[in-house]
Amino acid sequence: MKAEPEAVVLYARVSTKKQADAGNLERQMERLRAYAREKGYRVVAEYSDVASGLNQNRRGLERVLKSAERGEFRKLLIEYPDRLARFGYAYLERHLKHCGVEIEITSQKEPEDAHTELVRDLLAIVTSFSARLYGVKGGRKIRRGFRELIRDAEEAGER
């Protein structure tokens, strides 16, 4: 199956349920819809996830990849590269290009809460490695400390 040139898929992601409940996911998707309308693209599917950009098991992302592999669209619209993946973006971009899909980034400026999200993801990585190094009990203690740091970073970002 060969998709028409203006066939696009929209992909949006937020890290937390709190962000989704606050409407951030829907607003992100609406901005992508508006961009597609402005460009004259035909949206063939919309996918989204409420998960960390580090999480490799995202249902929406998996659906994007399967649809690309079936040749159902030509462009993937995302707001920022980290919406697709915090790390490994280049691998996803290469795979999609191999499937005949171009990624189109719709925004040039990162949102205000991107810093807090990045801090949360980096702390998740450190926590994971700490738990491996110091065992589960040590990992719990470190995780508790990192939760406090995350909470402090989120409060600072809200000011």
Domain range list for the chain = 7-105, 112-159
Assign domain 7-105 to a CATH class: alpha beta
What pLDDT is stored for residue 155 in this prediction?
72
Amino acid at 137: K
* Measured distance CA(11)–CA(6) in Å, rounded: 16
Told to judge if 48 belongs to the known catalytic residues of this protein, a careful annotator would answer no
pLDDT band at 54 (very low <50, low <70, confident <90, very high): confident
pLDDT band at residue 106 using 50, 70 and 90 as cut-offs: very high
> Which of helix, strand or coil describes residue 110?
coil
| Measured CA angle at 56 (ends 140, 94), to 5 deg | 145
3-state secondary structure of 46: strand
What is the rounded CA–CA span in Å between residue 130 and residue 72? 42
Three-state SS at 71: coil
Given the residues 15, 48, 52, 130, select the one marked as catalytic.
15
